[in-house]
Structures are given as structure tokens and as C-alpha cells.
């Protein structure tokens, strides 16, 4: 299919009907039964659009549509929303705004992918991979994503856009840690001096952890969930804090990793254990620049809205594709906002142009 043809606009009503079906099948990442039901649904919808059944890899689904992978289209069907969220956040459209749990992150992008790839007469070299654990950090799909991306000329990630539809040209890498403090219990009233207070040690460590960030380089090191102690009148014997690290370069991720593992206890008798490590490498702008230039040209040729691009702190599976050296363009999905929040929404009047852009990119890259 030569690219000079004008990209076909999708049947937005049909896409929204599929989107409704996807949203109303709740798929929280940590519920295996719900994820299995969602994977079954995605498999049925994908088979109807693509004409072939997927490979089932647990809750992950892969459609290889002919030949070695040249273009990897990447989506996920899991969400952060717990079962029952539809009762308080039902699917609906009011004044051109579509709402429902997971509609923005990222079931609209998934529906777009199914409709685009189902519309192509020649899909040689295109692979669609839909994973089921992205919101958990992709523990079981990371290797699958990386293996599929190696050797591809491009990865197109259907995560939702940034503000006003901007594509995501740069994503920080993520690291996830848990710092465990070991102290010694004692009665808080009778003999507190015989204990080693893990809460006090944790306070020292939280301040040291916070100081590892580097605002000038965009590196954030944030202590988040903390816990300590058992009862009000017992010197805490254990404490812990989760640590969220975001960095624009692998070098910064490694610097913070070394520094966290070098933390030393302040109180005599206390001990530290560090769990976790680097999770996702950064998506650096160098790996998105050429694809963004291509997308900008295609949008102009097709009369689609002009494109903008931004750097964001959040990570996605696009970090993994970029991490193996595959050019990656992220944020190609829905235009809207409120990911993971009560006001999650999609702008209906932007679904058509985003889907047309995706179609133009897939055709151009697959036949380049």
C-alpha cells in the first residue's frame, strides 16, 4: 500500500463501541482472574479485527502479522482501577468527553491499534503486542517486550498522550527500592534505652535518601510508603520505606543505585537491607527524534493536527524498547487526561485524527 494515499479515517462509532467493551471488562493488574477475563476479551476482539488468533503468553497476547517484526505496536490491557470501579466511574460520553476506568490509560490506544491493523491490506512485518502487567512495572513481560523489539526498525507505543495531545519524546528511567531497617525491640516505658529504635534510624535514612536527588539533572529520589513498629509502647524493631527513583540517563540511575546500596546505619546496633534496583531504562530523546520528525511530516501531508512533543517523568514499556536500542515513539494513544485519577477522560473528537496518524505511521514504516 503506497504511502501517498490519504490515511483512511476510522469509523469512530465502531471504535468507541469496542472501547466500551474493553472498559467495561475491568482489568486491575493485581487480579489474575480479572486479567484472564480481559485477555480473553482482547483475544476475541483482536481475532475479529485481524482475522487470526493471537499467541497467548499468560495474560499477554501477540499477533505477528507476517514476516520478521519491522514495526512493533505496543499496548497493555491492565489498569490501576480495582474491581467495582465501574459502579462509581461508569463508562459514558457527555459533551464530547468519554469517561470510564482505564479509558485514557490506555484502552483507547488498544482499541485504536486493533482498528488500524485490522484496516490494512498489507501488514507484513507488523507485530502487535498487548501485555497485562504494565502497571506493575512489567515484571513478566519485560523480556518479551525486549525480545520483540530487538531488530525492529520502530516501536510505536499506544500510551496516552501528554497535555494537549503531545507525543512523549523522552521518558525518565525508573528504579524501585525498599529500604529495610533492623533495630531491637524494648519496652518503650520501662527500658527504652535497651532497644534500637528502627523508627529513628528510618528518619535518618529518609533524609539521606532524599538528598540523593539532583534537580539540575532531573533526577528525583523520593521516599514514599513508610512503615514502622508494632505497638504504641514498644521500641520499633523494624521499619521500612519504599523509594521511587526517576532519572534521564542510565549513568544517573547507576549513581543512585550505588549510593543507596552504600547507605550506612546511624544508630549503634541498627542494620540496613536494600531491596530492588533499576526497573526501566530511560527513553532518551535521541531514540525518538527521527520518528517524531517522520510523524510530523506524515501529519502535515495528511492534513492532521500539528504535532508537539515533550519530556515526561513517567515510564512505560517504551522504556524497554528504547533500552534495547529500538527507535521508539510514545504517547500515540488517546488525547485527554487524568490517568489513574477520578477525572480520567478521553476527548472523543481527537480519536479520529490520532487513529489516522497511527495508521499513517504503521504504513510508512512497514513499507519504508
Contact between 50 and 63 (Cβ < 8 Å): yes
Cβ neighbours of residue 278 under 8 Å, at least 6 residues apart? 173, 174, 175, 253, 254, 257
The H or E element containing residue 246 is strand 238-247
Tell me whether residue 78 is one of the annotated catalytic residues. Answer: yes
| Spatial CA neighbour of 132 closest among 54, 80, 76, 83 | 76
Beta bridge partners of 309: 167
Give the rounded distance of the alpha carbon of 30 from its chain centre. Answer: 15
Tell me whether residue 244 is one of the annotated catalytic residues. Answer: no
Tell me the C-alpha distance between 330 and 72, whole Å: 12
Burial class (CB in 10 A: 0-12, 13-18, 19+), 306: exposed
Catalytic residue among 18, 134, 159, 257: 134
Beta bridge partners of 63: 128
Tell me the C-alpha distance between 39 and 37, whole Å: 5
Catalytic residue among 26, 78, 252, 353: 78
Tell me the C-alpha distance between 264 and 59, whole Å: 41
Peptide bond into 73 cis (omega under 30): no
Beta bridge partners of 336: 346
The H or E element containing residue 363 is helix 351-366
Catalytic residues: 78, 134
Amino acid at each position: 500500500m503506497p504511502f501517498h494515499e490519504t490515511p483512511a479515517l476510522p469509523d469512530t462509532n465502531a471504535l468507541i463501541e469496542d472501547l466500551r467493551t474493553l472498559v467495561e471488562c475491568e482489568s486491575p493488574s493485581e487480579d489474575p482472574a480479572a486479567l484472564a477475563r480481559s485477555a480473553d476479551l482482547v483475544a476475541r476482539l483482536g481475532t475479529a479485527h485481524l482475522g487470526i488468533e493471537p499467541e497467548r503468553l499468560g495474560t499477554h497476547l501477540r499477533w505477528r502479522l507476517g514476516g520478521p517484526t519491522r514495526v512493533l505496536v505496543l499496548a497493555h490491557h491492565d489498569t490501576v482501577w480495582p474491581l467495582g470501579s465501574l459502579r462509581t466511574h461508569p463508562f459514558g460520553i457527555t459533551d464530547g468527553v468519554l469517561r470510564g476506568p482505564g479509558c485514557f490509560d490506555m484502552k483507547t490506544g488498544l482499541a485504536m491499534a486493533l482498528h488500524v491493523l485490522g484496516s490494512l491490506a498489507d501488514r507484513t512485518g507488523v507485530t502487535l503486542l498487548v501485555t497485562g502487567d504494565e502497571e506493575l512495572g512489567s515484571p513478566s513481560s519485560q523480556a518479551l517486550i525486549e525480545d520483540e523489539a530487538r531488530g525492529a526498525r520502530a516501536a510505536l507505543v499506544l500510551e496516552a498522550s501528554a497535555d494537549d495531545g503531545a507525543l512523549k519524546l523522552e521518558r525518565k528511567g525508573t528504579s524501585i527500592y525498599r529500604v529495610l531497617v533492623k533495630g531491637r525491640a524494648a519496652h518503650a516505658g520501662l527500658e527504652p534505652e535497651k532497644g534500637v529504635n528502627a523508627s529513628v534510624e528510618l528518619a535518618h535514612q529518609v533524609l539521606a535518601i532524599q538528598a540523593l536527588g539532583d534537580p539540575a539533572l532531573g533526577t528525583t529520589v523520593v521516599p514514599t510508603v513508610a512503615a514502622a513498629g508494632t505497638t504504641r509502647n514498644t521500641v520499633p524493631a523494624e521499619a521500612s520505606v519504599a523509594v521511587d527513583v526517576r532519572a534521564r540517563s542510565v549513568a544517573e540511575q547507576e549513581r543512585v543505585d550505588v549510593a543507596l546500596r552504600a547507605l550506612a546505619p546511624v544508630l549503634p546496633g541498627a542494620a540496613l537491607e536494600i531491596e530492588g534496583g533499576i526497573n526501566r531504562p530511560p527513553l532518551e530523546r535521541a531514540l525518538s527524534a527521527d520518528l517524531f520528525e517522520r510523524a510530523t511530516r506524515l501529519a502535515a501531508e495528511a492534513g492532521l493536527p500539528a504535532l508537539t512533543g515533550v519530556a515526561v517523568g513517567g515510564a512505560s514499556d517504551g522504556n524497554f524498547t528504547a533500552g534495547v536500542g529500538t527507535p521508539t515513539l510514545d504517547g500515540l494513544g488517546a488525547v485527554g487526561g487524568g490517568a489513574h485519577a477520578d477525572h480520567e477522560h478521553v476527548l472523543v473528537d481527537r480519536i479520529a485524527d490520532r487513529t489516522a496518524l497511527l495508521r499513517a505511521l504503521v504504513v510508512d514504516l512497514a513499507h519504508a
